[in-house]
Amino acid sequence: MHPDQDRLIEQLHRDYFGKLTLYAAATLKNQSLAQDVVQDTFHEALRHIDTLMDHPNPGGWLMVTLKNKLREAERSRRRYLLRFLSLDTDLLTEPGREDPPPDRIQSLLEQIQQALTPEEYRLLTRLTIDGASHLEVAKEFHISVYASQKRLERIRKKLCQRFSEWEP
């Protein structure tokens, strides 16, 4: 990288890192993931430094790139959520099929919430949606790591029984 390219990246990082992180955190509601996405945005800026050097609005370029990275992160999270829940439903993605719409996912989550006790649902969402580890959940629930793993196993079995009428 040339010195002027290096200076541009440093200046953009100083000027926009905080703003982009705030935007990403507000969108994702997860500070550490927001920082990762912003870092990925700056990595993309490094990969396209020649384009960025000649761009009339480098800050705007960063914002558009961040928005694309946020959409990518959300799609990835939804795919992970659907696979992690391991429900045998028509919602599971198959090669060549598009992801289900967000309102369909919301409907599934509401049905899951109705099928579980509040404590079971909280444990499930902490592990699957929030991405907490079994160790973190064990501390929150004042149980052992093994108990956390076993509860998740029982919750999955309960959900598979509850949703057995759904066709694959």
DSSP structure string for 52-121 = HHH-S-HHHHHHHHHHHHHHHHHHHHHHHHHHHHT--STTS--TTPPPPPHHHHHHHHHHHHHHS-HHHH
Residues 72 and 119 in one domain: no
Could you tell me the residue range of the domain that residue 41 belongs to?
A: 3-78
100 torsion bin: left (phi>0), alpha (psi -120 to 50), beta (else): beta
Distance from the first to the final alpha carbon of the chain: 52
Asked if the structure places residue 167 within a domain, the reply is no
Q: What is the pLDDT of residue 61?
A: 95
Cβ-Cβ contacts under 8 Å for 84 (sequence gap 6 or more): 128
Domain count, the chain: 2
Asked if the structure places residue 115 within a domain, the reply is yes
Residues 93 and 156 in one domain: yes
Asked if the structure places residue 168 within a domain, the reply is no
pTM for the model = 0.51
Domain boundary among 57, 78, 99: 78
Domain boundary among 78, 105, 121: 78
With a cut of 90, say whether residue 41 has pLDDT above it.
Answer: yes
Residues 142 and 100 in one domain: yes
Per-residue pLDDT reduced to its tens digit, 7-22? 999 999 999 999 999 9
Domain boundary among 27, 59, 78: 78
Residues 90 and 157 in one domain: yes
Rounded Cα distance between 95 and 72, Å, is 18
